[in-house]
Amino acid sequence: METDGARWVDTRASIRVNNLDISLDVMNLFNRAYSTTGFLDPGGSGSALLFPAAGQVFEVGVRLGR
């Protein structure tokens, strides 16, 4: 799992059609493995235990408005 110098890309695209707003969010566009949190092993091994971040996520939104 990559932790040093980890890079990831989040992006959003949206369009308005009449009174309808449609959006697409993509988090971790390139599906990189990384971790931003963790802790040292309490058992004393000196190992770092890391919590991996989410993989690639797509979110679609639709809103009806003026």
Tell me the pLDDT tens digit for each residue of 23-32: 999 999 999 8
Q: Which ranges of 6-48 does DSSP label H, i.e. alpha helix?
A: none
CA-to-CA dists, residue 14 to 25, 36, 52, 60, angstroms = 9, 28, 29, 10
Which regions in the chain score pLDDT beneath 50?
none
Amino acid (one-letter) located at 65:
G
Residues in the chain: 66
Amino acid (one-letter) located at 9:
V
For the entire predicted model, the pTM comes to: 0.67
